[in-house]
Each structure stands twice: as C-alpha cells, then as structure tokens.
Amino acid sequence: MTEQVTWRSAGHTVRRDPPEKLRLFFPQELAFYLEQAGFQDAKLVDAFGKSNTAFDGRRLIAIAAPRRSQ
C-alpha cells in the first residue's frame, strides 16, 4: 500500500510529499513481531498521548522496551 500526502494552504503553492510505502499489521501480529525482535512489555495504542486501545484510529502505535539480558 502506498500513501502520498498533499499540503494545500491559502496563499502557498501546493506541496506534495514523496510517496510512502506502508505495511499494514494486525495488533496481535505487531506485538508478536516485537517480541520476536527482542522487545518486551509492548503497549499498543491508536493515538499519541492517550491510552486508547479501541484501535478505531487511523494509526497503530507500539511502545516497547528492549528485553533485558539475564
């Protein structure tokens, strides 16, 4: 999937960001990949600054810490 953002503002020329390639993940899939990569305590939210886990936003944000060596 690709996404390209276009910025329009009164009195300014139109600016178009370069296309971005996106990969979509299910929440459980992303948590699994983080664990396999050596992260722990993954917290998944759908908005910055909120602890909303309803996942009804446009983005999925993952916050995780590296696993500590034993």
pTM over 0.85: no
Can you give the pLDDT at residue 42?
86
| Nearest by Cα to 30 from 20, 19, 21, 39 | 39
Mean pLDDT of 44-69: 78
Can you give the pLDDT at residue 32?
93
Cβ pair 42, 25 in contact under 8 A: no
Can you give the pLDDT at residue 51?
62
Can you give the pLDDT at residue 60?
82
Can you give the pLDDT at residue 55?
72
Mean pLDDT of 9-26: 92
Cβ pair 16, 7 in contact under 8 A: yes
Task: Compute, in degrees rounded to 10, the torsion defined by CA atoms 38, 67, 51, 61.
Answer: -30
Q: CA–CA separation, 21 vs 70, rounded Å?
A: 37
